[in-house]
């Protein structure tokens, strides 16, 4: 049995994957997602807010994992930063765009995983069978 040559440029899988990528690029929804991401990248204030919020969140999480109780002031400061970030429409657009991109990636991954599992192209019913996806631990 010959092993599939998936790394070559001429591979059917690579060619079809590129076609999928091109189709995504041509979707109006993808263009909107891209615009929101680009707006965020071009906005220094939103990027700075995001960076500060992420760092603060990681610090507080690390502190909790070490068994140290967070002070009301630390929690309040984090919530104030989060609220300021969420008031920024560019930041909200960025978060929504990230969520939408994740949904597309999950959908594609689910189709590929189900194809391997079933040995055929999955139907909508196959995907809606109550499974949360590979690795979720629910064992549906």
In a domain? residue 102:
yes
Per-residue model confidence as pLDDT tens digits over 69-127: 999 999 999 999 999 999 999 999 999 999 999 999 999 999 999 999 999 999 999 98
Query: How does DSSP classify residue 27?
Result: S
Greatest extent of the chain over all pairs of C-alpha atoms, in Å = 65
Per-residue model confidence as pLDDT tens digits over 23-32: 999 999 999 9
In a domain? residue 22:
no
pLDDT given for residue 1 in this prediction: 45
- CA dihedral for 127, 131, 109, 122, sign (positive or negative): negative
pLDDT given for residue 9 in this prediction: 56
pLDDT band at 140 (very low <50, low <70, confident <90, very high): very low
Structural domain that includes position 110 = 29-122
CA distances from 86 to 13, 33, 63 (A): 41, 18, 24
Q: What percent of the chain is modeled with pLDDT above 70?
A: 85
Answer yes or no: are the C-beta atoms of 113 and 133 closer than 8 Å: yes
In a domain? residue 134:
no
Averaged pLDDT for residues 19-42: 95
In a domain? residue 132:
no
Q: What is the pTM of this model?
A: 0.72
Answer yes or no: are the C-beta atoms of 97 and 33 closer than 8 Å: yes
In a domain? residue 10:
no
String of DSSP letters for 56-78: HHHHHHHHHHTTPPPPHHHHHHH
In a domain? residue 11:
no
Q: How many domains does the chain have?
A: 1
């Amino acid at each position: 049995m010959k092993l599939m040559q998936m790394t070559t440029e001429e591979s059917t899988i690579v060619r079809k994957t590129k076609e999928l990528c091109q189709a995504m690029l041509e979707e109006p929804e993808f263009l909107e997602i891209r615009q929101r991401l680009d707006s965020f990248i071009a906005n220094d204030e939103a990027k700075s807010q995001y960076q500060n919020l992420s760092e603060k969140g990681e610090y507080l999480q690390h502190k909790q994992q070490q068994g140290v109780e967070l002070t009301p002031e630390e929690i309040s400061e984090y919530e104030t930063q989060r609220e300021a970030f969420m008031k920024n429409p560019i930041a909200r657009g960025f978060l929504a765009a990230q969520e939408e991109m994740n949904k597309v990636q999950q959908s594609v991954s689910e189709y590929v995983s189900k194809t391997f599992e079933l040995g055929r192209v999955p139907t909508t019913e196959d995907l809606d069978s109550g499974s949360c996806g590979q690795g979720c631990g629910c064992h549906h």
